[in-house]
Amino acid sequence: MTASLFPAFLKLADRQVLVVGGGAIATGKIPGLLEAGAKVTVVAPNVNAQIREWVDAQRLRWFPKRFEAEDLDGKFLVVAATALPEVNAAVFQEADRRQILCNAVDDIEHCHFYYGAIVQRGDLQIAISTNGKSPALAQRLRKELEEQFGPEYEAWVEELGRERERVRDDAAGEAANKELHRLASDEEFQRFVSERLSKRKVANG
């Protein structure tokens, strides 16, 4: 029986993350790491134009060479993103030996974690995983959830954050929890959307 995955959202701000590979596979994995504030190092003999652009903008570091075990020194997490399965497997094995979390892209046997299909609305994140069984299903569900949770959720979550601070200052215990649940209800969301729409109509004359 396959063990269940433990769902978690990692705080990668200022964490050292290694990406092995300099092509399209690596390029697809790097943006999320940068957005999370990770300190990204790329190891690859060559890199594509996009990665060079990030290097030039000093958003990450690049060492133009083949992977070596020492590249994992001080790293919190590693992504093996080359087009060579044997290289990805070697990266995973060394990371596993050092107890460093590793994802070998598109190789479920060499992963400590998977990239989920993500719906992002500001601070609202909805992650979907099929434990590597069907990425296609995860992508379909992501598209459905993107329609269900539209862009307006970004502003609403910001509003809920402000309201949470207010409620915690004014109340405590069960009363505070009850009020926070009321504020997060669908009725309050519909009111929020309606008020924003009315304000836009007034602003547009």
Contact present, 108 and 85 (Cβ < 8 Å): no
Which residue reads 């379909």 in tokens? 140
* Each residue's pLDDT tens digit, 128-181: 988 878 889 999 999 999 999 999 999 999 999 999 988 887 777 888 889 999
- Across the chain, the runs of DSSP E, i.e. the strands, are 16-20, 39-43, 61-63, 77-80, 101-104, 117-121, 124-128
pLDDT greater than 70 at residue 79: yes
The answer to whether 30 touches 40, Cβ cutoff 8 Å, is: yes
For all residues of the chain together, what is the average pLDDT?
A: 92
pTM assigned to the model: 0.79
Other beta carbons less than 10 A from residue 45's beta carbon: 10
Domain boundaries, given as residue ranges, for the chain: 16-115, 119-148, 152-203
Which is nearest to 115 in space by CA: 21, 13, 31?
31
pLDDT digits (tens, 9 = 90+) for 43-56: 999 999 999 999 99
Q: Give me the architecture of the 16-115 domain, per CATH.
A: 3-Layer(aba) Sandwich (3.40)
